[in-house]
Chain A
Amino acid sequence: MFYRHCEDSDGRLMGGEMTVDKVAEILDGKVLYKDKEDERHVGKVVASDLMSDVLLVDADDILLLTSLASDQSIRTAQIVGAMGVVVHNNKPLPASMLSVAQTLGIPLVTCPYAKYESCVRLYKALCAESGSEEQ
């Protein structure tokens, strides 16, 4: 299956040399906050709007793709040690969200795409990076 080209048997992304800046580039998004020193790479992509669902994921360096433009996305991201949060559809963010991201040290990105399209764009980029051609 094509999908397996970018994920190993443990569900960890392969070719994962993707920083938050790179993610923003792929998604034509804006990085609203990121620590200069933070060079973490995407370990796993999680696309979810339900926080309990995110908490269920057992992986490091999660990139959280969500439509939930609220402080809770950031708070949940901190709990699971996420490496970044992307909010979709250019949703306006509550004023507090950026400051929560800064306080908790969670990189925050907004992008114009729907979550489905972000998934697909990231998937293609990851496949390209891991050197496998689509079949």
Chain B
Amino acid sequence: MTFEEVRKSLDGVWVTDGLDDSQSVSNAYTSDLLSDVMGNAPDDSVLVTIQNHLNTIAVCTLAGIKIVAVCHDRDVPQDMKDAAEREGVAILRTPYDQFSASCRLSELCGGAR
């Protein structure tokens, strides 16, 4: 699924600037615990979370996550945005909760693996 498909399916807004639209992702992972993301998230993923913290970006780079979908339209702090742009991780704000966002993404990437 392309970045734009992900954004559309989540009715989201990009928080980060200067991202490469041509990219795509193939998996999704839903978690608010960074240790869980680090240990279990598949790479090439969208991370569905409400964890709007700078450290999320650090974990994303380690786990190979390309998009962070921040749920409930939660504010993204400036330091998190800066880090994401530096590390080439895209941040998306979505009005949906984690369950709804996950359900929506499953329509794109074919459901449970």
Contacts and interface: CB of A to CB of B under 8 A. Distances in A.
Direct A–B contact in complex, judged by CB atoms less than 8 Å apart: yes
B106 A49 contact: no
A119 interface: yes
Contacts of A79: none
A87 to B, nearest CB: 11
Nearest to A49: B32
A120 B97 contact: no
Contact of A120 (B40, B72, B98, B106): B106
B7 interface: no
Contacts of B105: 116
Given A49-B32, A89-B40, A116-B30, A2 B107 contact: yes
Interface string B41-81: 00000001011000000000000000000001000000000
B50 A116 contact: no
A117 B28 CA distance: 9
B99 A46 contact: yes
Contacts of A3: 100, 103-104, 107
Contact of B103 (A50, A56, A119): A119
A121 B30 CA distance: 13
Contacts, number: 82
Contacts of A121: 112
Contacts of A68: 33
B112 to A, nearest CB: 4
Contacts of A120: 102-103, 106, 111-112
A122 to B, nearest CB: 8
Contacts of A2: 103-104, 107
Interface in A27-69: 45-50, 53, 56-57, 65, 67-68
A48 B32 contact: yes
Interface of A: 1-3, 6-7, 45-50, 53, 56-57, 65, 67-68, 89, 113-117, 119-121, 123-124, 134
9 contacts: A2-B104, A46-B99, A47-B98, A116-B28, A116-B30, A116-B102, A120-B106, A123-B103, A123-B106
